[in-house]
Amino acid sequence: MSVLAGRFFQLVGMVILPIGLLFGLSRGDVRTEEILLFIGAGFFLVGWLMARNRGNR
């Protein structure tokens, strides 16, 4: 179950990243772009760690 949740977090992160990029490019709002990019990267990193740690056991 932890691997599945980790993969889901990775998917959420991969969806948030381009949304942040589009916000920055279309609106010129660099602050919001950076916030969304860090949130997306955080989700992806947590998901990667969850899937990696559970898969090694």
Handedness of CA 26, 29, 34, 36 (dihedral sign): negative
**2-55: pLDDT as tens digits:** 889 999 999 999 999 999 999 888 998 899 999 999 999 999 999 999 988 755
Q: Output the six-digit token pair for 45.
A: 């990193």
Range of the domain at 46: 2-55
**What does the pLDDT read at residue 57?**
55
23-40 exposure pattern, b = at least 16 Cβ within 10 A, e = fewer = bbeeeeeeeebeebbebb
Say if residues 50 and 6 touch (Cβ distance below 8 Å): yes
**pTM (two decimals):** 0.82
Report how many domains make up the chain.
1
Q: Which positions ≥6 away from 29 have C-beta within 8 Å?
A: 23
